[in-house]
Amino acid sequence: MIIYTVKPGDTVYYLSRRYGISSETIIRDNALNDPDLLVLGQTLVINNDVTPHRVRRGQSLFSIGMEYGISLEQMISANPQIDNPYMINIGENVNIPVAPEKLGTIEVNGYTFPNIQESVLNATLPFLTYLSIFSYQVMGDGSPRTIDDEPLIEAARQANVAPLMVITNLREEGGFSSDIAHAVLSNEDVQQTLLDNVVNVLDSKNYYGLDIDFEYIRPEDRENYDSFIQKAVDTLRPLGYTITSALAPKISADQPGLLYEAHNYPLHGSLLDHVILMTYEWGYTYGPPMAVAPIDQVGRVLDYAVTAIPPEKILMGMPNYGYDWTLPYRRGTAARSLSNTQAIDLAVSTGAEIQFDTTSRAPFFYYSDNDGRSHVVWFDDARSIQARLRLVDEYGLGGVSYWTINRYFPQNWLVLDSMYDIRKVL
């Protein structure tokens, strides 16, 4: 697989000829709505295991291999059409193998809402280990609001993907509630009611396990949350269910803030099967413009996390979206969320040039709207995704977790598949 950055004069037809791959494949793999319009700085995934090289005077297969860091044996294997590997002609095209060895086998979780399009779900399931269906909203009395999850559970199991029930302390109108969390965590009877309800849903709907996503818990409820995690493990593990939690992206054990203080990394890491780190939302709806998951900030979280949680239990959070901010940014104003493919389409329609920030390892661009207002868009492309996925290998993590899979971005799955094999537990 090749990640190509569009340059002046590039066309899909030119790239298809250059890399020996059909235009239709390039268009499909990169979700190009108008293949005649490419954007400077845009990345394209060329899903090919070889790239052509035109032989120059004095070159041999050995010297060409040296140029690309490839052994003579690899060059010979990639060019079965050459009868005599020690005699090649000037102007002849030889194949340069570009497919790297995979970095290993990982687990991949994908969060989804029940309203995901069937076509998007079916296209994504082959790349997943777990499907976390979001979410059963827990009420103060320990009863969860039910969701229409049966079709997703059935589709997941047919694709050998393990469905996970997700419980949250979300309000019905939206937003995580510290009050709901307190009502549940401060009352042992309510905790037991909740766990009884969870077991009933897991059993009756054929779930594989539980994913606990309680956020904005009051610091004074930290020990209560620890106790609830222990009770969940004691209740569910003997029944054969896995237990996962989603945790805020902390850089130290004593990090202050309502989002962080009640999330006890060492305890979750010791008790649970997996811990999902929500390593995104540095750039967020009401915050200043920046990358959603800058690699330098993600690295700071992982530096701490692997000291507190067994690395093989960690699933690193991966965002699947970007934001569009109106400039100049004013505190309290909202950015617009958009998919990565929508970001590219916006760059195409506004004639923007995509740039790449080397510190955050993320793409961005500026444009002006019809009213003359300036905007900046930060999003993900194949380069930023590849850079963050390398962290899984560097830190020895168990895998990744996507928020969310509802918007299909083919570049992501092609990059993931080129780097890792996906573990299936069913």
Contact 182, 218 (CB under 8 A): yes
Residues 6+ apart with CB under 8 A from 2: 19, 45, 46, 48, 51, 98
Please say if 215 is a catalytic residue.
yes
Residue 57 has pLDDT above 90, yes or no: yes
Residue-wise pLDDT tens digits, 182-216? 999 999 999 999 999 999 999 999 999 999 999 99
pLDDT of 133 reads 98
Per-residue confidence band for 80, with pLDDT thresholds at 50, 70 and 90? confident
Per-residue confidence band for 52, with pLDDT thresholds at 50, 70 and 90? confident
Residue-wise pLDDT tens digits, 281-321? 999 999 999 999 999 999 999 999 999 999 999 999 999 99
CA 342, 345, 347, 350 torsion: positive or negative?
Answer: negative
Residues 6+ apart with CB under 8 A from 129: 107, 108, 109, 161, 162, 399, 422, 423, 424, 425
Q: Look up residue 246 and give its amino acid.
A: A
Q: Which of 91, 80, 85, 19 is nearest to 55 (CA)?
A: 91
Residues 6+ apart with CB under 8 A from 84: none
DSSP 201-251: HHHHHT--EEEEE--S--GGGHHHHHHHHHHHHHHHGGGT-EEEEEE---S
Q: Which domains does the chain have, with CATH numbers?
A: 2-97 (3.10.350.10), 105-319+399-422 (3.20.20.80)
- pTM of structure: 0.92
The one catalytic residue among 67, 150, 188, 215: 215
Q: Which of 94-98, 156-160, 232-236, 252-256 has the lowest mean pLDDT?
A: 94-98
Contact 193, 141 (CB under 8 A): yes
pLDDT of 81 reads 84
Number of Cβ atoms within 10 Å of the Cβ of 118: 10
Residue-wise pLDDT tens digits, 386-420? 999 999 999 999 999 999 999 999 999 999 999 99
